[in-house]
Amino acid sequence: MQRGAVLIAGPTASGKSALALALAERLGGVVINADSMQVYRELGVLTARPDTAAEARAPHRLYGVLPAAERCSAGRWLDLVLPEIDGALAAGLRPILVGGTGLYFRALIEGLAPVPHIALEAVKDAEAEFLRLGGEAFRALLAREDPGALALRASDRQRLVRLRAVLTATGRRLADWQAERAGPHFAGPTVRLALDPPRALVHERIDARVPAMVRAGALDEVRDLLALDLDPSLPAMKAVGVREFAAHLRGEHSLPTAIERVRTATRQYAKRQKTWIRHQMIAWIRLNEQQTGKMIDQAFSLIKDSALTAQ
């Protein structure tokens, strides 16, 4: 076997998990998580994490491996994923990485910028400044020293806070650190598949998925997460559905209203993921087949004809 991997990116509800599972069965592979929210133990339902039936069909790695109290950055994910890839290859299994976090894939195949660790205090100071000034004023202030802020909207709170925290903690702009990006962490051959189904199909699946999540226990999951009394700035606390269902649990709006708000937030999240894929994954192979079976056959054919299976 060539020492290569299959990479599958796509927006939420694009069918990427089903594709990864089918390919793992056909190729003798290991499904490895590349989604920033599916790493959290407490978010199984809200993130549509593979269930026990899927795990029985093929081995899965890095799903639910971190507590919500921790922060999983691209660097932390790399520390976790590289041994899993090596372990799969050593066992003669095909690593199949799947997820919707484009930054994780970029870190793996292009390298990660050597940004030093940013203390939590610096992040909290930047967040406090954002709340004190408001988004527009904070963005304007930051843009005087880091023009990269001009490319963001005032509502992009997390990214603006990140820019500010890096600048104040290191004295350098994030863009300067990123210009020193290291080489790829995985240099083996890859087949890179980017799922890009029609928007209407994604919306249809999202609309069906959210009520199904409620039936599967999403409200209990959010209730248990809130009981941990975690810092609201933690990534897990910002997962789609947490805020909307939490408001319902507090009696602020009805369950049907919460469901509609989660649907809307999920559609917006899928749109951002699709935008990243179209702009940042230009060289990836696009799969826009609407029928799952045909998409699986198409992907399998591409992999079969690639360097991964060449003799």
Give CA–CA dist 261/264, Å, rounded.
Answer: 5
The predicted structure's pLDDT at residue 310: 47
The pTM for the full model equals 0.81
Burial of 76 by CB count in 10 Å (0-12 exposed, 13-18 middle, 19+ buried)? middle
Percentage above 70 pLDDT, the chain = 95
**The most confident of 2-6, 71-75, 209-213, 307-311, by mean pLDDT:** 209-213
For residue 91, give Cα distances in angstroms to 1, 76, 192: 11, 24, 22
The predicted structure's pLDDT at residue 251: 96
- Residue-wise pLDDT tens digits, 153-175: 888 888 899 899 999 998 888 88
* Closest C-alpha among 36, 37, 49, 42 to residue 229: 42
- Residue-wise pLDDT tens digits, 198-211: 999 999 999 999 99
What residue ranges define each of the domains in the chain, with the CATH number in brackets?
5-112+182-304 (3.40.50.300), 120-178 (1.10.20.140)
The partner residues of 286 in beta bridges, in order of sequence, read 194
Residue 66 DSSP symbol:
B
Kindly state the tokens that stand for 248. 């319902």
Among the residue ranges 28-37, 110-119, 268-277, the one predicted with the least confidence is 110-119
Give CA–CA dist 54/37, Å, rounded.
Answer: 18
Maximum Cα interatomic distance, the chain, rounded to a whole number of Å: 62
Average pLDDT score over residue span 13-30: 95
Kindly state the tokens that stand for 169. 């903690």
